[in-house]
Amino acid sequence: MAPILPGATIGILGGGQLGRMTAMAARALGYDVHVLDPDPDCSARPVASRVVTARFDDADAAADLARQCDVVTLEIEQLAPTALEAVARHARLHPGAGAIWVIQDRVRQKDWLAEHAFPVGPFRHAEGAADVAAAVRELGACIVKSAHGGYDGRGQAHVLDPGDAAAAWQAVGARRSVVEQRLDLALEFSVLVARRADGQMAVYPPSRNHHTRGVLAWSVTPADLAKEVARAGAEVAMGIAEGLDLVGLLAVEFFLTTDGRVLVNELAPRPHNTYHQSERACATSQFEQLVRAVCGLPLGAPTLIAAGAIANLLGDLWVTDAPPDAVGALEVATARLHLYGKREARAGRKMGHVSAVGQSGPEALARALDAYERFRPAACPAIDRP
């Protein structure tokens, strides 16, 4: 298939921060960008020359977006199949509806991984509290995760005892869920793969990730993993991208358990929070790479050119009396501030991140965490350190 050259128009389903940063990379390459998002004031709006304001299940609006685009990609996987089909009738759609269909439902995703012999932790399906109780009796302490709509730890509940199953089921409030055994984690890491329609792939070096209360707090590359762990991660990530015939980006979140197992946690068919440092640390950022992959351009080198780290800035930092200190954060060596232009700060909402580079992962991370600490109003809790 002929490449889609600069000057053409890229559509993005979703105009959050991932759409915004992808749009900026597309603009840098000389593409025009159109976006579909339910919020007319979404993060990508200032970078897009057209915003179609519609829900992600509005097939007419999706067709309207696609008619004016040469290729359409996405920054969110919660998209109605009818909307994806409508897009595909009018423009190239990468990644395709098939891969999105598998990934967008946690139950389907887990089943697909298990059926294709990719390593996942023990899990069960649940369609009611009784299933949860049975799973906990078999597997011990578990986490219930709703099939749809969960992100940043939402739609999840921990169950330590079968007697807590009913409360957990109600808290999650889903019709279908997966119940995962709660694993003892040594650490978490992720691997990003870019894949073109002809099957060519580029694999990024792993990121090491730290979550607080189910939300990513910081991420650093290089991850400083044992060679065989990094190799297993890269092989599994490439295998999944091939198995799903995914064109674009695939981020695979991994657990390394205390007993040495490398297990897939979950998949994302789009740019990922744990690769924001690729803008600084890699020869090709994840956002530029997505554009290259979906346009059929040569993939850029994912090579590390510096160690890089990010720390997330959640809305909590804005909802205290004192404002955060942007000037102080920017005084830290190599620090950059990335704000997503969201007007309304809410606790837990991702508002931006700070990034830093260095000679080593620990140095880059120390700088990013320093920048975070300078930014943080005194009333907010300190960030977790490694």
What are the residues binding Mg ion (CB under 5 A)? 253
Q: Does 64 bind ligand ATP (CB under 6 A)?
A: no
Selected from 185, 186, 339, 379, the binder of ligand ATP by CB under 6 A is 185
The token pair that represents 117 in the structure block: 């012999």
Nearer to Mg ion, 119 or 341 (CB): 119
82 binds, among ligand ATP, Mg ion, none (CB under 5 to 8 A by kind): none
Selected from 81, 121, 243, 328, the binder of ligand ATP by CB under 6 A is 121
Selected from 78, 97, 111, 151, the binder of ligand ATP by CB under 6 A is 151
Nearer to Mg ion, 180 or 253 (CB): 253
Query: Interface with ligand ATP by CB under 6 A: which range of 177-185, 293-301, 303-311, 360-368?
Result: 177-185
Selected from 99, 129, 183, 354, the binder of ligand ATP by CB under 6 A is 183
183 binds, among ligand ATP, Mg ion, none (CB under 5 to 8 A by kind): ligand ATP
Strands 9-13 and 71-74 come out as parallel
Interface positions, 203-262, toward ligand ATP (CB under 6 A) = 211, 214-216, 253
**Residue pointed to by tokens 């830290």:** 332
Query: Interface with ligand ATP by CB under 6 A: which range of 19-27, 93-101, 176-184, 240-248?
Result: 176-184
Nearer to ligand ATP, 5 or 114 (CB): 114
121 binds, among Mg ion, ligand ATP, none (CB under 5 to 8 A by kind): ligand ATP
Report how far residue 254's alpha carbon sits from residue 273's, in angstroms, rounded to the nearest whole number: 14
Nearer to ligand ATP, 9 or 17 (CB): 17
202 binds, among ligand ATP, Mg ion, none (CB under 5 to 8 A by kind): none
SS (H, E, C) the chain: CCCCCECEEEEEECCCHHHHHHHHHHHHCCCEEEEEECCCCCCCHHHCCEEEECCCCCHHHHHHHHHCCCEEEECCCCCCHHHHHHHHHHCEECCCHHHHHHHCCHHHHHHHHHHCCCCCCCEEEECCHHHHHHHHHHHCCEEEEECCCCCCCCCEEEECCHHHHHHHHHHHCCCCEEEEECCCEEEEEEEEEEECCCCCEEECCCEEEEEECCEEEEEEECCCCCHHHHHHHHHHHHHHHHHCCCCEEEEEEEEEECCCCEEEEEEECCCCHHHCCHHHHECCCHHHHHHHHHHCCCCCCCCECCEEEEEEEEHHHCCCCCCCCHHHHHCCCCCEEEECCCCCCCCCCEEEEEEEEECCHHHHHHHHHHHHHHHCCCCCCCCCCC
Provide the minimum distance between the beta carbon of 253 and Mg ion in the complex, in angstroms, as a whole number.
Answer: 5
With b meaning 16 or more CB within 10 Å and e meaning fewer, what string describes 309-343?
A: bbbbbbbbbbeeeeebeeeebeebebbbbbebebe
Nearer to ligand ATP, 62 or 216 (CB): 216
Provide the minimum distance between the beta carbon of 261 and ligand ATP in the complex, in angstroms, as a whole number.
Answer: 12
Nearer to ligand ATP, 41 or 152 (CB): 152
Nearer to Mg ion, 156 or 277 (CB): 156
180 binds, among ligand ATP, Mg ion, none (CB under 5 to 8 A by kind): ligand ATP
Provide the minimum distance between the beta carbon of 154 and ligand ATP in the complex, in angstroms, as a whole number.
Answer: 6
Selected from 152, 224, 242, 373, the binder of ligand ATP by CB under 6 A is 152
Selected from 32, 37, 75, 188, the binder of ligand ATP by CB under 6 A is 188
Q: Which residues sit at the interface with ligand ATP, rule CB under 6 A?
A: 121, 143, 145, 150-154, 180, 182-183, 185, 188, 211, 214-216, 253, 265-266
